[in-house]
Amino acid sequence: MSSDRKPKPSELGYAMPAEWARHAATWLSWPHNLETWPGCFDLVEPTMVEVVRTLVAEELVHINVLDADHRAHVHALLDELVPVERVRTHICATNDAWIRDHGAIFVTHADRHELAAIDFEYNAWGGKYPPFDRDREVARFMAAALGVARFEPGIVLEGGSIDVNGAGALLTTEQCLLNSNRNPGFDRAAIEAELCSAFGVAQIIWLGEGIEGDDTDGHIDDLARFVAADTVVTVVERNRDDPNFVRLQMNRDRLSKVRIADRPLNVIELPMPDPVFNQSQRLPASYANFYVANGLVLMPAFDCNQDKEAAHVLAACFPERRVVAIDCRGLVAGLGALHCLTQQVPHVV
C-alpha cells in the first residue's frame, strides 16, 4: 500500500450494519425549503413532529436546524409532545431535508466497538437541484459532532441508493449508480469495488429501474429492502396498465434468481399504493420507503386500501417491532418519504 493512499473502511475492519441492528439515535435535517413541497409545506412539519414523537419513545433523535431562530421554531413545534432530553438540535444549515442522501452514512468496527462516518460526494441527484453547497457539508458536521473518524471515498453516492443486510450483501440499481450524472467514467466493476471497500460487503445485487415520479434516478429505498440477512421485500404493481408494472416485475424477476450464502434469496412482495399526485405530477409513493428503528418500523401510508396490507407484510417481517403507519401524502409531494428523511446512527458498546 503506497504511503499516500488512505485505507478504505473495509480494509480497517469497518462495515455497515443492517438498519434493524440497534441504533444509538436517528438523525434528521428539519424541512424548511418551501420549493421542495409546492403547496404542501403546511402538511410537512406536523408529519415530522409525529415522526419525532414516535421515534423518541425508542431512541434519541438528532435534528439539524438552520440557525438559532429555526431551533426555537422546531422546539416550539415539539414542545409538550416530545421530552426535551430525547432530542438534540444542531445548528447545521442545509439546503434541504434529505439527510439519507446528504448526510453521513455510519459504519462500525465490531472488534474495536467503534463508529465511523462515510462522507460521500453529493451533487443533488446528478445536479438537478442547485444549490447544494450546504448539504455537502452535513456529513462532515455529523462526524465532528459525534467525534468519530470520517472516510471520504471521493465518489458521488446517496444513502437512499443502497441497502445492506449486515452480512455482506448490498442492494442497488443500475439506473442510479451507473448513471453518468453521478460518477462518469466509472463502470460497473469500478462501482462495485467502491461499494465493497466502503461498506464492507462482498456481494452486490443489481436491480434495474426505479418507480414513476422518482427524481433520484431509481433509488433502491423505493423498490426493495432487506428485512433479514436472507430476505428482501420488493414492491410490485398489480395494475398492468400502470407504468410501474413492467419495471417492477423485471426487478422481481431479477431477485428470484439471486442466491445468498448458496441459498435462494427469500423474496416477499409488498403492494404498491394507489397512484398519488400533486396537481398533475405523479409522486414516488412506495411502501418500501419505510424506516426501521429500535422497537418499531415507521411505514409510509397513503390513505388507500393497500395501507393495511403493507402494514401486515412488514409486521410479519419484523414480529418484535411495532409497525407505525405515518400519513405521507404531504411528505411525498417533496418526492421522498420516511426513509429519505432519516439516517440511523448505529449503537456501539
d(CA 142, CA 133): 16
d(CA 256, CA 264): 8
Residue 126 CA: distances (Å) to CA of 130, 183, 184, 243, 262:
10, 9, 11, 23, 36
Q: Which domain holds residue 24?
A: 10-346
Return the C-alpha cell found at 151. Answer: 472516510
- Is residue 291, in this structure, part of any structural domain at all? yes
d(CA 317, CA 226): 10
Question: 281-339 pLDDT, tens per residue?
Answer: 999 999 999 999 999 999 999 999 999 999 999 999 999 999 999 999 999 999 999 99
pLDDT value, residue 3: 55
- Is residue 4, in this structure, part of any structural domain at all? no
Strand pairing class (14-15; 114-118): unpaired
- Is residue 302, in this structure, part of any structural domain at all? yes
Q: Whose grid coordinates read 407505525? A: 324
340 given a catalytic annotation: yes
* String of DSSP letters for 131-186: --TTGGGHHHHHHHHHT-EEE---SB--GGG-EE-SSSEEEEEHHHHT-TTTSTT-
pLDDT value, residue 88: 98
- Is residue 328, in this structure, part of any structural domain at all? yes
Return the C-alpha cell found at 1. Answer: 500500500
- Is residue 3, in this structure, part of any structural domain at all? no
Asked whether the whole model's pTM tops 0.75, one would answer yes
- Regions of the chain short of the pLDDT cut 50: 1-2
How many domains does the chain divide into? 1
CATH number, position 251:
3.75.10.10
- Is residue 87, in this structure, part of any structural domain at all? yes
Strand pairing class (343-346; 23-29): antiparallel
- Is residue 5, in this structure, part of any structural domain at all? no
